[in-house]
Amino acid sequence: MVLACGLSGVTDASYVTASERLRPKGFDEMPADFRELSPSYRAANPEGAKLWLDLEHKAVTGNRSGQPPANRITLSSLEKLQVPTLLIAGDADLWQPPAMTRMLARHLPNSELVIVPEAGHSLYWERPDIFNTTVLDFISRHRI
């Protein structure tokens, strides 16, 4: 399993509170590229940031709440998972910073954690070289 920049859906009050505490009031109304892309990427690649924002505007057409979860995910339920899990996160991710991803990793017994420097929540876009290599390497080491 690969959890990339994942908010995870964990419902434990301590986890939800910690996550919510990271984002100030009005965070959801901030520009999407600010929330999702790292400052380094926006500064170094304004054309890439514009392309990302163009795609985001096309993809987000209304309600972003998604479908309701089929299962209740808790930190203790994660501890029961045996599947190898890669957690990959950007060190400049405002939605799911490394501290939150590390918290998840502590509850996943068969996990590996990779923090990508100077990458935000859309690290697959910002650093596809690192993202693709990391994911493909992980999958190749865990083939059945």
- Banded pLDDT at 66 (limits 50, 70, 90): low
Give mean pLDDT, residues 105-129. 96
User: What is the structure's pLDDT at 77?
Assistant: 93
Of all residues in the chain, the percent with pLDDT exceeding 70 is 95
Give mean pLDDT, residues 13-34. 92
44 contact partners, CB below 8 Å, separation of at least 6:
none
User: What is the structure's pLDDT at 61?
Assistant: 67
85-90 and 111-116 strand pairing: parallel
Reported pTM: 0.88
User: What is the structure's pLDDT at 1?
Assistant: 93
Separation in Å, CA 71 to CA 2, 47, 59, 86, 96: 18, 40, 26, 21, 21
Q: What is the CATH number of domain 2-141?
A: 3.40.50.1820
- Angle ∠(56,62,67) on CA atoms, nearest 5: 100
Q: What is the mean pLDDT of the chain?
A: 92
